[in-house]
Chain A
Amino acid sequence: MSLALPVYLIDDDDSVRRSLRFMLESYGLKITDFDSAEAFFTTVDLTLPGCALVDVRMPGLSGPQLHLELVAKNSPLAVIYLTGHGDVPMAVEALKLGAVDFFQKPADGARLAEAVVKALEHTKAHHQDNQYLETYQALTPREREILNLIAQGLKNQEIADSLCIAMRTVEIHRANLMKGMQVGSLAEMMLIYSRIAERLRLEDNR
């Protein structure tokens, strides 16, 4: 159940933080709170899934700065912004960075809980993607090359021709590929590939 995933609450204002925690806990969410971004970074494992509710304006690192850091580390943590008085440009920036949602305080509890649930779904998927990506990156270059060609819809013979290798070699690579990706069927492998493809494109562009 996704509700079991940790929700991190980062806000410098004690009373706001405590009241938010009280409200969200009533929805059965597992809340851990921090009074600054720095405290959050020293405690939390950023590679694990979870949701971060971040106040936009804080002394020290601000909400967007924290978000940027997460993106840079490719953390699966989903980010929801909380702000005293929201302004549109900031909301746009936040969503561009990949924030799940943007709330103005006082936040409506039901909608916030809903957004948190959505974010937790999001973080799970993101975490899954990260795991697939890791698997993909564990493949040899030749295997990745063959996977790309398979994804383009080429048959084994066509692959062997384009790479100037023996048909048999392609088959062996393909079997290793299935094993390495821990999938049972080609369809499953293609599904995973499509999910990581976008990330790959992003990485290629970098």
Chain B
Amino acid sequence: MLLRMMKTVFRLAVSVKWPLSILSTLHSVAIPRKKPRNAVLFLCLLASVKVFAAEPLNQSVHSGLTDSEVVAQVAIEEPSYQVVDVGVLAIRGYKATINRWQPLMGWLETQIPNSYFRLHPLTLDELAKGVETQGLDFVITNPGQSVMLARQYSLTWLATLRSPLNNGAAMQVGSALVVRADSPYHTLSDLKGRRLGIVSKNAFGGYLTLVYEAQLKGIDLPRFVGEIIPLGFPLDNLLYQLDDQKSGDNTAKDNRLDAAVVPVCQLEQMQTEGLINIGHYRVLDNQTPVGFHCQVSTRLYPNWSMAKTNRASQSLAKSVTQALLALPEDHLAAKSADSAGWTTAVSQLAIDQLLKDLDMHPLQTPWWQRAWQWVKLHQQWAWFVLGILVLLNAYHFWLEYRFSRRGRELINTQRQLNENRALLEHAQRIAIAGELGASLSHELNQPLAAIGHYCHGAEVRLQRGTSPEELQSVLALIQQEVTRADNIISRLRNLLKKRPVSKQPLYLHELVNDTVPLLAYEFEQHQINLAVNVSGEPYLQSLDEVGMQQLLLNLLKNAFDACVQRLELESSGTEQSVMHKPYVPTIDIDLRYQERTLLLTVTDNGTGLTEETSLLMQAFYSTKSEGLGLGLVICRDIAESHGGTFSLESAMGGGCQAQVAIPRKPEPNGVL
């Protein structure tokens, strides 16, 4: 729907623009003529200025009078030369243009008495500007430019140049796509990614006709070729640069043109003038019509035409047209213009079509102008869209604000979570210590008992007359026992300490050997066989000592509980179990120093897993009546804090196997 609206608006804009552009032309202020040739003319100008000055406020009066009329009025007062400005598109340089068209000026001056025709060789843009500012009376231009000018400004076509070579045909404009004769290109589609030299992107015969031709073949020429290099006028440069021998050695190979586009007959004309050797060149996609003598890569469009601008009077135009049509074929003016004289103006329809298809037609306003027109016409929609944009922006910022606030909350929550987890870990360690109570008190009791025994023994001996010197060795024994007790207490204190997680390099098997005694007593009590097996070359690994000890204790305690549970089942169970081999509870600690991984496996042959592993890994889930349900969760956390993994699975022959894999990290100082 929106699209259809825009289309309507566009059409409207076009129809509005048309009369507008005409009006603007009519209203534009005349500029003073260039270079007045004599005093008379100067006086004329003064008079006209007086006219302007007399009625400075009445714009309509002034604008109603065209310059030519003013000139005419002055001329009547004082008969003199009539100066006529003729703009010509200079395609081959200033001098060549003068040479080509000056004879025609002479012819016109001879045909129209009291006239002076001034020739202005101009570029495309200058020509357009000259017409716009009413600095010209007549223009002679190529067909592309003629249409562009005609549709923007009020031009009246008077005559079209006849070609001398094609039986005087008026169709004489097109492009020749030229490559070097020895180049590998044979058609336009071979030029993909190549360097193409042109005169100008606005040049009609030299560029646009080829673009149109390519478009008809489904090729978007500006995107298809690698680079388009506008070299400007004169056209001769294009062919010189294309040809190796002419371009000279200083042009680097990669700066060379691969192909060039020139107006039709340019090649042949330069050959005739002896400037180039046509044998060095080749024209691609040659489609020369029968009877046409130049090579051409496109269809042909009307030849150069002459038109009158708003400034020239009708009577002058009439006499100029008559003079043009009267020009004999073999007259110098015709020959130097490379023509066979002039004929009546030819239809420019084909050119119109081309420009429209290339989206370059002067009557087409740029897209942004059309859009602006649409906006002006549909203000309510524009406001609506603007409103939505504002709302969306506001919504975006609001979301952003909410998001950042949530982000902060999330970070806070995360920190709290970490603190809570540390607390939980600590709580669980205390819980383990409680469960280790029997074992620990036994452990601690042993050295204390020994100390007591030594003391008593020494006392008795002293009483019985043994000399104190003989008893000195006992003191050393007592000291040994004190050290042993101290070690046990500090081990326990470590476990119970609240501490920040700190990792330091240590050997895991030493930690295992330190930890196992904490449970050894309970294992013995239940006659559980504990085997520690270390394999591989031991290396230091950065570990959280207390965390790893907690992990190990958790695993051993679980294994222990499972074994005890099974022992109870076996003893209270049916007689059948007695028929089998007697149950020997066994726990294996297997520690492997692998090249990339530190692998710790605790295997038991207890009751085995009765629940899903994922369920067991959940916090506060426990199968034990007095369990906190934290052990395995904390094991996993500790393993993950070392960048490792923790897994739990059923072992062969019942029981359970817990495995911790920690990736090996080389020490920063290079010690492994």
- A residues with a Cβ closer than 8 A to B are 13, 15-16, 18-20, 22-27, 57-59, 84-85, 105-110
Which residue on A lies nearest to B480, using beta carbons?
A15
Contact across chains for A22 and B457 when beta carbons are under 8 A apart: yes
Contact of A19 among B445, B453, B525 (CB under 8 A): B453
22 pairs from A and B in contact (CB 8 Å cutoff):
A15-B477, A15-B480, A18-B450, A19-B454, A19-B477, A19-B481, A20-B453, A22-B458, A22-B477, A24-B457, A25-B457, A26-B457, A27-B460, A57-B525, A58-B524, A84-B445, A85-B445, A105-B446, A106-B449, A107-B452, A107-B453, A108-B456
Contact of A85 among B441, B458, B461, B481 (CB under 8 A): B441
Which residue on A lies nearest to B461, using beta carbons?
A26
B442 beta carbon closer than 8 Å to chain A: yes
> Residues 427-470 of chain B: 1 if any A CB is under 8 Å from the residue's CB, otherwise 0?
00000000000100110011111111110111111001010000
B22 beta carbon closer than 8 Å to chain A: no
A106 to B556, CA, bound (A): 29
Contact of A109 among B451, B457, B525 (CB under 8 A): B457
A18 to B525, CA, bound (A): 22
Contact across chains for B446 and A109 when beta carbons are under 8 A apart: no
- 5 shortest interchain CB distances as A-B pairs: A106-B452, A23-B457, A19-B453, A109-B456, A106-B449
A206 to B459, CA, bound (A): 49
A174 to B456, CA, bound (A): 56
Which residue on B lies nearest to A22, using beta carbons?
B457
Contact across chains for A15 and B460 when beta carbons are under 8 A apart: no
A59 to B447, CA, bound (A): 18
From known contacts A106-B448, A109-B460, infer whether A59 and B481 are also in contact, taking CB-CB under 8 Å: no
A107 to B453, CA, bound (A): 7
Contact across chains for A84 and B453 when beta carbons are under 8 A apart: no
5 more A-B contacts (CB under 8 A) besides A15-B477, A26-B457, A110-B456? A13-B446, A15-B480, A19-B481, A85-B441, A107-B449
Contact across chains for B477 and A18 when beta carbons are under 8 A apart: yes
Which residue on A lies nearest to B481, using beta carbons?
A15
Which residue on A lies nearest to B438, using beta carbons?
A85
Contact across chains for B524 and A19 when beta carbons are under 8 A apart: no
CB distance from A10 to the nearest CB of B (A): 15
B12 beta carbon closer than 8 Å to chain A: no
Task: List chain A residues, Cβ under 8 A from B441.
Answer: 84-85
Task: List chain B residues, Cβ under 8 A from A15.
Answer: 446-447, 450, 477, 480-481, 484
- B residues with a Cβ closer than 8 A to A are 438, 441-442, 445-454, 456-461, 464, 466, 474, 477, 480-481, 484, 521, 524-525
Task: List chain B residues, Cβ under 8 A from A13.
Answer: 446
A27 to B463, CA, bound (A): 11
Task: List chain A residues, Cβ under 8 A from B447.
Answer: 15
CB distance from A66 to the nearest CB of B (A): 15
CB distance from B436 to the nearest CB of A (A): 14
Contact across chains for A19 and B457 when beta carbons are under 8 A apart: yes
A59 to B456, CA, bound (A): 28
A106 to B445, CA, bound (A): 8
A111 to B457, CA, bound (A): 12
Task: List chain B residues, Cβ under 8 A from A57.
Answer: 521, 524-525
Contact across chains for B460 and A16 when beta carbons are under 8 A apart: no
A106 to B481, CA, bound (A): 13
Contact across chains for A23 and B446 when beta carbons are under 8 A apart: no
From known contacts A19-B454, A19-B477, A57-B524, infer whether A26 and B460 are also in contact, taking CB-CB under 8 Å: yes
CB distance from B557 to the nearest CB of A (A): 19
Contact across chains for A22 and B454 when beta carbons are under 8 A apart: yes
From known contacts A15-B481, A26-B464, infer whether A105 and B449 are also in contact, taking CB-CB under 8 Å: yes
Task: List chain B residues, Cβ under 8 A from A109.
Answer: 453, 456-457, 459-460
Which of B446, B448, B484 counts the most chain A CB atoms within 10 A? B446
Task: List chain B residues, Cβ under 8 A from A24.
Answer: 457
A57 to B521, CA, bound (A): 9
Which of B445, B452, B456, B466 counts the most chain A CB atoms within 10 A? B456
CB distance from A15 to the nearest CB of B (A): 4
Task: List chain B residues, Cβ under 8 A from A106.
Answer: 445, 448-453
Contact across chains for B442 and A23 when beta carbons are under 8 A apart: no
Which of A19, A105, A109 counts the most chain B CB atoms within 10 A? A19
Task: List chain A residues, Cβ under 8 A from B464.
Answer: 26
CB distance from A11 to the nearest CB of B (A): 10
CB distance from A39 to the nearest CB of B (A): 17
Task: List chain B residues, Cβ under 8 A from A107.
Answer: 449, 452-453
Which residue on B lies nearest to A82, using beta carbons?
B449
Contact of B524 among A20, A22, A59, A85 (CB under 8 A): A59
Contact of B453 among A22, A58, A85, A110 (CB under 8 A): A22
A121 to B536, CA, bound (A): 58
Contact of B451 among A19, A58, A59, A84 (CB under 8 A): A19
Contact of B445 among A22, A23, A26, A105 (CB under 8 A): A105
Task: List chain A residues, Cβ under 8 A from B524.
Answer: 57-59
Which residue on B lies nearest to A60, using beta carbons?
B527
A26 to B459, CA, bound (A): 9
CB distance from B610 to the nearest CB of A (A): 30
Task: List chain A residues, Cβ under 8 A from B521.
Answer: 57
Task: List chain B residues, Cβ under 8 A from A108.
Answer: 456
Contact across chains for A23 and B454 when beta carbons are under 8 A apart: yes
